[in-house]
Copies of this chain bind each other. A is one copy, B any other.
Amino acid sequence: MTSNVYTKEEVMIMASNVYTKEELYSMKPQKWYPSEATEAGFLLGGIGTGNITLGSRGDLKDWEIFNRPGKGDFAQYNFFSIWAKEDGSEPVAKVLESKILPPYNHPLGYPSRAAVSGLPRMDHSRIKGEYPFAFLEFDDSKLPVDVSLEAFTPFIPLNEDDSGIPGALFRYKAVNRKKHPVEVTVAGSFINFAGYEGNGSFENMRFVQPGVNEYRQDSGLQGIYYSSPDLPADHLRNGSMAVLTNAGPEFVTHKATWLIGGWWDGIQDFWDDFSHDGKLEPESFTNATSSALGINDQLRIGSLGINRTLQPGEEAIFEFVLSWYFPNRVRNWDEDAPVNDGDELEMNYYGTLFQDAWDAGAYLLKNRERLEQGSRDFHRALFTSTLPDYVLDALASNITVLRSPTCFRIKDGTFLGFEGSLDKKGSCLGTCTHVWNYAQTLAFLFPKLEQSARIVEFELETDDQGEMDYRTNRVMGKPSFRVSAPFEVHPATDGQLGTIIRLYREWKISGDDAFLRRLWTKASKALDFAFDYWDSDGDFVLDSRQHNTYDIEFYGPNSLTNSIFYAALKAGAEMAEFVGDSEHAEKYRKAFEIGSKRMDALLWGGEYYVQVLDNVDEHRYQYGIGCLSDQLFGQMLAHVVGLGYILPEDHVKQAVASIFANNFKSNFDDHANTGRAFALNDEKGLVVCSWPKGGRPRLPFQYSPEVWTGIEYQVAAHLIYEGFIEEGMTIVKAVRERYDGYKRNPWSEIEAGNHYARSMASWALLLAFSGFKLDLGAGKMSFHPVINEDHFSTFWSNGKAWGIYKQHMDVQTSRPKWEIEVLYGSLEGVQVNES
């Protein structure tokens, strides 16, 4: 129960006991997840458009296109299928999914996670995700062709609109390995979801009214347009879908509307038709009488197929775009809030870009080459980096959050986010300042969207006394969160002060002085608020009731909130100076200098920073002399934005080493965690807090025994900034091992919800590894890689451009030589690696 002052060497020995150097420095290709890794689900869809998930079996699952999360929401008749006939042999027809895997425990037999689960399927499959691309390969012993799939939704940093298309491209490839020609049809079948109101008993889909499916040929495109023409445009359930191709009419076969009937008439008729000859009859009809019972006659399902004949050895592409358009959302964070006649709805931003799903899909298909090139450039820049494979995985996989149901954009373009997504609802409203504090991905890839969050925070949510609501409810036209929450709300110290650092970050990334000037007055009020509200004795060390991201209040001086305070003060002083507010510049500089020194003197515990309280049990949920993983979060943020040290470097280095030494666990078998379990059994991870010196409060803050990926990433990045490279890498590897497709979804790190925003702290790893510094206003960008310096390559981005930075050792000079490739935008006026 006693702690050492760990030396750097001691900490490094600890790290080396966890993984070998070979494991840590691994630069293998990204992992293939076999079909058995059924947790692995790759989200397709744009920013703020909702999603469809491609599962490890090739299944389309989690239909989250209805402006809310929908994990497990299945669409029984939405699937691709293949028919193939080798000359001289019997045809084979299969659903383009590998076999359904146990458990088969659905109480109605047809598992939620499978379309038409009784139809024949492929033997096996595997999926790989390299954001924004998903790759899928199938094996089958009976099909005469080899089949694979690429799927993606365009993703181009700095281009919000082209990264926000409500659709996805599916490119199936078939290769004829036989000695005879093989005729192949690949068909996509989809339910018309226009007017969809959710599922009723026995999981039958309910609709406002049945939709209408239409086969269309339009300017070189062929497809099926699914709509509900009689539904008013402003009806909450109004919307449309489309499946399109540009294969050419001569290769297209379709059945715009399956047989409409009771029971399972539609699929019986479709499958008979499809499996017979791979060609679809455009219409199906029967006048046979039906039965007394009979379900699902509101369903309108339509199929689009592409038919090609492959010579031996030949390969063929079957390319589809699936798009959707459900522009109307409730004007409320609560997706279940009732909508009464006359209530105003909110429109998704994508609703302003496109007329309907056909329009969106046609845009994607007509601009396919440019959109794909941009996406491939990003993919190449990121995945050719010489960072360890699991680090790239951590960077790329958590981009998903931005394009998951956790986030959305409203009509005026404002970007909003929950903290995460529960299965059927958003989790914790209002782009929470203290959670989003950790996220770096959006700020560096789509800085304009990140700026819109600052505008909401300062202009809408900060009052004239400088108190900021840490959740925005006003953006929905609703009363402030402070007023409307069903519990007492105290201002969040970490979140509010973090917005100052983030304003500084947005300014440095964009060089947008007008943006800074626009928000400065409110921002300075928000920073001033700390002096008045949290510093009870005026000594520039915050000490009063400090609500924070642990959903409780800390009392007394602690280094979590104070480190953020000093980073905010340092940023604030520089911003004040720039905008000519010398009074604030002086105030903040002085407070920083005095406060930071005082905090260090007050809270330095010899090994790490502690919380100082006379009686740690007077208030519940404190941590006292515990070792808090977040204790230097402010320092880490300062590094990200280039503010340098805000506390003595030696203490900082010792503290982060102590965090690793005390809080990283290689096994959780004997860990007594009374909170939520995010790491279990033989997993590895970093706990939120530990008490190596004893002194645990009777009721420490409730999350202390937990493991949060967002904290793990911020600590890992910080370790890297401080030179503990392998320690940082160890933590990152531990996180990603937990998300292995069997245990959890690699594309959804969880905390209070799936696709949790805090996980986007991972982007700081790229910044730390590349020693990236940026001040676009001053026209400066620089790199100081701390790994693979002699053969370094990384993606980089700023508010105007992005591309690849490469560095290798010049054998003649023995000094690094670098080159930069701009893949998007322009670096005009930006000096690289100068000064």
Assess whether A292 is in contact with B698, with CB atoms less than 8 Å apart: no
Complex contact B551–A293 (CB within 8 A): yes
Instruction: Please name the residue on chain B nearest to A142 by beta carbon.
Output: B670
Chain B residue at minimal CB-CB distance from A334: B201
| Contact in complex: A291, B105 (CB < 8 Å) | no
Per-residue 0/1 for A668-709: is the Cβ within 8 Å of any B Cβ (1 yes, 0 no)?
111111111110110000000000000000111010011000
Q: Report the separation of the CA atoms of residues A291 and B549 in the bound assembly, to the nearest whole angstrom.
A: 13
**Stretch from A111-119, A179-187, A352-360, A444-452 forming part of the interface with B:** A111-119
Q: Is the CB of B269 within 8 A of A699?
A: yes
**Which one, A416-424, A630-638, A798-806, is touching chain B?**
A416-424
Whether the pair A552, B293 counts as a contact (CB closer than 8 A) is: yes
A288-344: which residues lie under 8 A (CB-CB) from chain B? 288-294
Contacts of A830 in B (CB 8 A): none
A221 on interface, CB distance cutoff 8 Å: no
A621 at the interface (CB under 8 A from B): yes
In the complex, 24 of the A-B residue pairs with CB atoms within 8 angstroms, ordered by the A residue number, are A39-B103, A104-B677, A104-B678, A104-B743, A106-B750, A107-B422, A107-B423, A107-B427, A107-B750, A109-B751, A118-B668, A118-B705, A119-B674, A120-B672, A201-B425, A263-B551, A264-B674, A265-B699, A268-B699, A286-B620, A289-B618, A291-B551, A291-B620, A292-B488
Interface residues as binary, A203-247 with B (CB distance below 8 Å gives 1, 0 otherwise) = 000000000000000000000000000000000000000000000
A76 to chain B, nearest CB (A): 10
Residue A517 is within 8 A (CB to CB) of chain B in the complex: no
A829 at the interface (CB under 8 A from B): no
5 additional A-B residue pairs with CB within 8 Å, beyond A110-B676, A264-B702: A38-B103, A108-B422, A109-B676, A118-B674, A288-B619
User: Taking the nearest CB of chain B, how far is it from the CB of A273, in angstroms?
Assistant: 11
Q: Using a CB-CB cutoff of 8 Å, which residues 381-399 of chain A contact chain B?
A: none
Q: Are B119 and A673 in contact (CB under 8 A)?
A: yes
Task: Check: A495 CB closer than 8 A to any chain B CB.
Answer: no
Q: Say which size band chain A's interface belongs to.
A: 35 or more
What chain B residues lie within 8 Å of A752 (beta carbons)? 107-109, 202
Per CB-CB distance, the 6 closest pairs between chain A and chain B, nearest first, are A118-B673, A109-B676, A263-B702, A291-B552, A118-B677, A117-B677
State the oligomeric state as a number of copies.
2
A5 within 8 A of B: no
**Nearest-CB residue, chain B, relative to A756:** B107
Asked if A680 meets B271 with Cβ closer than 8 Å, knowing A489-B292, A673-B118, A702-B263, the reply is no
Q: Kindly list chain B residues whose C-beta atoms are within 8 Å of the C-beta of A620.
A: 261-262, 265, 286, 288-291
**A665 on interface, CB distance cutoff 8 Å:** no
A688 vs B62: C-alpha distance when bound (angstroms): 32
Residue of B at shortest CB range from A420? B107
Q: Is A411 an interface residue (CB 8 A)?
A: no
Residues of A in contact with B (beta carbons under 8 Å apart): 38-39, 71, 93, 99-100, 102-111, 114, 116-120, 142, 201-202, 261-265, 267-269, 271-272, 275, 286, 288-294, 420-423, 425, 427, 487-490, 547, 551-553, 617-621, 668-678, 680-681, 698-700, 702, 705-706, 738, 742-745, 750-754
Asked if A677 meets B488 with Cβ closer than 8 Å, knowing A271-B672, A699-B288, the reply is: no
**Complex formed: what's the CA distance from A114 to B202 in Å?**
27
Identify the closest chain B residue to A754 (Cβ): B107
A669 partner residues in chain B, CB cutoff 8 A:
99, 120
Asked if B621 contacts A263 (CB within 8 A), the reply is yes
Contacting pair A100 B291 (CB below 8 A): no
What CA separation (Å) do A120 and B672 show in the bound complex? Answer: 6
Give chain B residues whose Cβ lies under 8 Å from the Cβ of A288: 617-620, 698-699
Contact between chains at B116 and A674 (CB < 8 Å): yes
Closest to A738 in B: B104
Q: Are B263 and A109 in contact (CB under 8 A)?
A: no
Chain B contacts for A425, CB-based, 8 A: 201
Chain B residues near A702: list those with CB within 8 A: 262-265, 268
Check B742–A103 contact: CB distance below 8 A. Answer: yes
B104–A680 CB distance below 8 A:
yes
A272, B697: Cα distance in complex, Å: 12
Q: Which residue of B lies closest to A288 (CB)?
A: B620
Bound together, the chains give a CA A275 to CA B672 distance in angstroms of: 10
Question: How far apart are A697's CB and chain B's nearest CB, in angstroms?
Answer: 9
Q: How far is the CB of A292 from chain B (nearest CB, A)?
A: 4
Which residues of the partner chain B approach A754 to less than 8 Å between Cβ atoms?
A: 107
What CA separation (Å) do A569 and B670 show in the bound complex?
Answer: 69
Contact B672 A107 (CB under 8 A): no
Contacts of A265 in B (CB 8 A): 620, 699, 702
Known A-B contacts A293-B487, A618-B289; A744 and B104 likewise in contact (beta carbons under 8 Å): yes
CA distance A71 to B112 in the complex (A): 15
CA distance A269 to B702 in the complex (A): 12
Q: Which residue of B lies closest to A99 (CB)?
A: B681
Q: Name A745's closest neighbour in chain B (CB-CB).
A: B105
> Which B-chain residue is minimally distant from A619 (CB atoms)?
B289
Contact check, B119 vs A672: say whether CB atoms are below 8 A apart: yes
Q: Inside 8 A of A738's CB, which chain B residues have their CB?
A: 104
Shortest Cβ distance from A409 into chain B, in angstroms?
23
Q: Which residues on B sit within 8 Å (CB–CB) of A551?
A: 263, 291, 293
Cβ of A553 and Cβ of B292 under 8 Å apart?
yes
Determine how close the nearest CB of chain B comes to the CB of A357; give it in whole angstroms.
28
Say yes or no: B490 contacts A292, CB within 8 Å: yes
Cβ contact within 8 Å between B421 and A699: no
CA distance A261 to B114 in the complex (A): 43
Which of B267, B427, B743 touches A674 (beta carbons < 8 Å)?
Answer: B267
A104 to chain B, nearest CB (A): 5
Closest to A682 in B: B99
Structural contact, A677 and B109, CB atoms closer than 8 A: yes
Name the B residues within 8 Å of A621 (CB-CB): 263, 290-291
Residues of B within 8 A of A272 (CB): 698
Which residues of chain B are near A681, meaning CB under 8 Å? 99-100
A114, chain B: closest CB distance, angstroms: 8
